[in-house]
Amino acid sequence: MALVVQKYGGTSVGDVNRIRNVAKRVLDTKNQGHEVVVVVSAMAGETDKLIRLAQQVTPHPDEREMDVLLSTGEQVSIALLSIALKTMGVDSKSYLGFQIKIATDSAFGKARITGIESEKVMNDLKRGRVVVVAGFQGVDDLDNITTLGRGGSDTTAVAIAAALKADSCEIYTDVDGVYTTDPNICSKARKLNKISYDEMLEMASLGSKVLQIRSVEFAKKYDVPIHVRSSFNENPGTIVCKEDKDMERVVVSGVTYNKNEARIEIMRVPDVPGIAAKIFKPIADANIVVDMIVQTSSTEMGCADMAFTVPKTDFAKTLQIVKETIKEFGGKEVKSNEDIAKVSIVGVGMRSHSNVATQMFTALAKEGINIQMISTSEIKISCIIDSKYTELAVRALHDAFELDKPSVTEEQ
Amino acid sequence: MALVVQKYGGTSVGDVNRIRNVAKRVLDTKNQGHEVVVVVSAMAGETDKLIRLAQQVTPHPDEREMDVLLSTGEQVSIALLSIALKTMGVDSKSYLGFQIKIATDSAFGKARITGIESEKVMNDLKRGRVVVVAGFQGVDDLDNITTLGRGGSDTTAVAIAAALKADSCEIYTDVDGVYTTDPNICSKARKLNKISYDEMLEMASLGSKVLQIRSVEFAKKYDVPIHVRSSFNENPGTIVCKEDKDMERVVVSGVTYNKNEARIEIMRVPDVPGIAAKIFKPIADANIVVDMIVQTSSTEMGCADMAFTVPKTDFAKTLQIVKETIKEFGGKEVKSNEDIAKVSIVGVGMRSHSNVATQMFTALAKEGINIQMISTSEIKISCIIDSKYTELAVRALHDAFELDKPSVTEEQ
């Protein structure tokens, strides 16, 4: 007998029939002798509908009240799923964030979970009940309702699995698992059997939308293995887990891309200490998240060029801020480009394999793709290229690292 | 400066524009220097939509989970209203049942309020905030969400007014107030300026749908005057309050009717002690509420006829139960009739005026309407008649007691 946490996303509970299917899956797991806690999202489209309703009132609704509004979506789902389970003869009970004290900080719209009282849930499980928990929501110290941000139900599931010391945490979604790259642009994309937390974090933050990034951080912190799989078939999915030795033998696990950034370059910045802080402080003050930063020494004496990327939605604002800033120290010129894409390769094996960067640059060069910026971490390399080459670049890299072939580990 | 509780029903918050109008009304009240607590219902149609959703899963959904589901309707309303208020520059804060501990028993779907923690609300009011409270919902001892039954938001408003010792409790609805009878069937129907709790209770339980009956009981218990008025105009409505001497001078305040009952008559029941209990116990055990009961001595020696009414929805079930019961003591015959209506006159003045019953019977006789059953209380007389005469009877009684003319009290 195992304790299993299962999370079903919005498409999996998108209508009453699908909710019934989820109930059947839960019943099957129960019949296999397991204890089951189910975490559900709002029915597909509901959250967007609620946002539209609020925006009919005002384009900038109050954040506390938005969380009161949005948390109703999951509340509807847990009630309907619990009703469906009871109709099938499964004793079940639904819980909202406040009822099992999913404690969070007070950052409305993007709250972080700080604790969960597991006692009620454990008692229900002992009595043979299936426990159905509303994803995405919690309460702060003052009993205000909070939400965890888009995809927050993943984090709820992982946090509950951690609190209950569950044997497994299954995230059901509308794809079969984590792929080597986006199957929509590369037909050779292959489902991975296993991926490490760190790789998944890089994949998630680089644009792969399978899991909310915070849920992976949480899983890593408490070492909760996540099984990402489809709710529409019985295929095994991808296990996101702690890195093992076998994983290091695989140099590159995946290729990702992101078209939502824009690039700003400040030419001939005085190359003196403190200059970077001067440039980026006003940007940070405006709550704009800078992604890549590259500084190069310029040909002119005592000067450097400074390039960085920001989300496209913050591009205009950032450009305005930068133009103000450079007046101060006489930066001469600002260049910018919105038509860029970031392509990246990710893999824990990079740590122990040299030459990976060269292989990447060669693969792109072969296709005549110019690299505008490069940024690296221990387990990833990212290149900024012209956005029109995105798909070409992804396919070229997928081929170059032979990601279509099962890795040594997976063949075993 | 007064502390005002305002309750807005489903049609008053039926869409975003109407929610804005409610916000404006609240702002006006605030600008007049008052402290305001607003209680809102679910947007018109929302509760029915949620019920339909559950019934797609099963015709008999679990009661606890139904309350989880249905309480989302009011949650959406409070969030949107609070967002609208903030947009107008009014500092406001929304509260769900659990956040201000609207404590109830655990009777899901028809819970009774047992207490409210007023501290949080009072603190907010002191800070100049408008407090927006979700109607219809509460929590039991175990933090389960409960709902108060149809129209339960009225009760929430009155309970909050009682807990806060509010100066007034205004119930905004889509009608102008309480009428002498249904204006849809009697064009001479007149809005009452004032009505006593007891009269309102009789009116409400007899079929007038302006206020939930429990809210009136609550108001009577804690002596909270209710002002029933329209949210679509500025007209004064009807005050429901403690009886005063003036009220007794009015003999009849209103005429009501109810077409939702059916009549069952058991002929020649042995006239011995305990027989009534034998007949009605199995009916009560089936959770069927019997309304009127009339027992007449029969022409046959030692026998009586027993007639009573039940809601039409329980008619078939009751008939079946009764047929089983009478086998035991040899009741000979059961008659039944679904085509009946109950017409009633209500007025606290009846206590001190004789002859009211005779006036009623005469008025009905004049129109050739036969009376099948009669039942009386201190302040009301009800007659069961053939349902096809309902409208005729209501108009005849309205005329007979001259309800179209302002009463002595109201003329002053």
So where are chain A's domains?
3-174, 244-412
In DSSP terms, B104 is beta-bridged to B113
pTM of the model: 0.85
Which is more confidently placed, A303 or B157?
B157
Which is more confidently placed, B303 or A335?
A335
Structure tokens given for B65: 């989970």
Å between A90 CA and nearest CA of chain B: 12
Find the chain A residues whose C-beta atoms sit closer than 8 A to any C-beta of B.
16, 19-20, 50, 53-54, 56-58, 61-62, 64-66, 68-69, 71-72, 75-76, 78-80, 82-84, 86-87, 93-94, 96, 98-99, 143-145
Q: Are strands A254-258 and B293-297 parallel, antiparallel or unpaired?
A: unpaired
Beta-sheet strand order (sheet of A293-297): A293-297, A303-311, A261-270, A333-337
Could you tell me the CA-to-CA distances from B345 to A100, A326, B228, B244 in Å, in that order? 52, 85, 21, 19
User: Which among A16, A69, A79 is the nearest to B80, CB-wise?
Assistant: A69
Look over chain A and give the mean of its residue pLDDT values, rounded to a whole number. Answer: 92
Mutation for testing the B interface, residue in A47, A52, A60, A65 having most B CBs under 10 Å: A65
pLDDT at A296: 79
User: Which among B20, B58, B76 is the nearest to A72, CB-wise?
Assistant: B76
Structure tokens given for A338: 């919105």
pLDDT at B7: 97
Residues of A in contact with B80 (CB under 8 A): 53-54, 57, 65, 69
Contact (CB<8Å) A57/B145: no
In DSSP terms, B381 is beta-bridged to B345, B376
Beta strands in B312-379 (DSSP E): 333-337, 340-346, 373-377
Cβ A106 vs Cβ A141: under 8 Å: yes
Contact (CB<8Å) B62/A68: no
Nearest CA in chain A to B82: A65
Nearest CA in chain A to B62: A83
pLDDT band at A8, cuts 50/70/90?
very high
Structure tokens given for B165: 């010792």
Flag whether pLDDT at A311 surpasses 60: yes
Residues of B in contact with A84 (CB under 8 A): 57-58
Structure tokens given for A395: 């396919």
User: Which among A19, A72, A94 is the nearest to B57, CB-wise?
Assistant: A19
Name residues whose C-beta falls within 8 Å of residue A283's C-beta, 6 or more positions apart in sequence.
A290, A310, A318, A321, A322
Cα–Cα distance between A135 and A41 in angstroms, integer? 5
pLDDT at A229: 94
Residues of B in contact with A46 (CB under 8 A): none
CATH topology of domain B3-174: Carbamate kinase (3.40.1160)
Contact (CB<8Å) A71/B75: yes
**Type of residue at B70:** L
Contact (CB<8Å) B53/A16: yes
Half-sphere exposure of B217 (CA within 13 A, CB side): 8
Distance of CA B126 to the CA centre of its chain: 33
Least confident of A17-31, A235-249, A287-301, B113-127: A287-301
pLDDT tens digits along A32-49 = 999 999 999 999 999 999
Contact (CB<8Å) A69/B76: yes
Cα–Cα distance between A146 and A113 in angstroms, integer? 10
Cα–Cα distance between A237 and A172 in angstroms, integer? 9
Cβ neighbours around B284 below 10 Å, total = 11
Residues of A in contact with B144 (CB under 8 A): 99
- Alpha-carbon radius of gyration of chain B: 23
User: Which among B72, B93, B145 is the nearest to A72, CB-wise?
Assistant: B72
Which residues of chain B have a pLDDT value below 50?
Answer: 411-412
Å between A252 CA and nearest CA of chain B: 46
pLDDT at B349: 86
pLDDT at B276: 84
Å between A17 CA and nearest CA of chain B: 8
The end-to-end CA distance of chain B, in Å, is 28
pLDDT tens digits along A320-331 = 999 998 888 777
Structure tokens given for A260: 């939502």
Q: Is B244 exposed, middle or buried (0-12, 13-18, 19+ CB in 10 A)?
A: exposed
Cα–Cα distance between B210 and B176 in angstroms, integer? 10
Cα–Cα distance between B216 and B214 in angstroms, integer? 5
Cβ A210 vs Cβ A178: under 8 Å: yes
Contact (CB<8Å) B19/A50: no
User: Which among B56, B64, B71 is the nearest to A16, CB-wise?
Assistant: B56
Nearest CA in chain A to B19: A57
Cβ A212 vs Cβ A154: under 8 Å: yes
pLDDT at B211: 87
Q: Are strands B3-8 and B35-40 parallel, antiparallel or unpaired?
A: parallel
Contact (CB<8Å) A62/B86: yes
In DSSP terms, B92 is beta-bridged to B130
pLDDT tens digits along A190-243 = 999 999 999 999 887 766 678 888 899 999 999 999 999 998 899 999 999 999
Nearest CA in chain A to B100: A143
**DSSP H helical segments within A223-355, as ranges?**
245-248, 275-285, 315-329
pLDDT band at A411, cuts 50/70/90?
very low
Residues of A in contact with B66 (CB under 8 A): 79, 83
Structure tokens given for B157: 């408003």
CATH, domain B244-412, list 3.90.1150.10, 3.50.50.60, 3.30.750.24, 3.30.2130.10 = 3.30.2130.10
Half-sphere exposure of B122 (CA within 13 A, CB side): 10
pLDDT at B411: 47
Find the chain B residues whose C-beta atoms sit closer than 8 A to any C-beta of A.
16, 19-20, 50, 53-54, 56-58, 61-62, 64-66, 68-69, 71-72, 75-76, 78-80, 82-84, 86-87, 93-94, 96, 98-99, 143-145
Contact (CB<8Å) B83/A94: no
Cβ B182 vs Cβ B33: under 8 Å: no
Residues of B in contact with A78 (CB under 8 A): 65, 68
Nearest CA in chain A to B70: A76
Residues of B in contact with A145 (CB under 8 A): 96
pLDDT at A138: 98
Mutation for testing the A interface, residue in B40, B55, B68, B140 having most A CBs under 10 Å: B68
Name residues whose C-beta falls within 8 Å of residue A320's C-beta, 6 or more positions apart in sequence.
none
Å between B329 CA and nearest CA of chain A: 40
pLDDT band at A352, cuts 50/70/90?
confident
Å between B395 CA and nearest CA of chain A: 45
Residues of B in contact with A61 (CB under 8 A): 83, 86-87
Structure tokens given for B124: 């907010």
Dihedral sign for Cα A43, A46, A48, A50, please.
Answer: negative
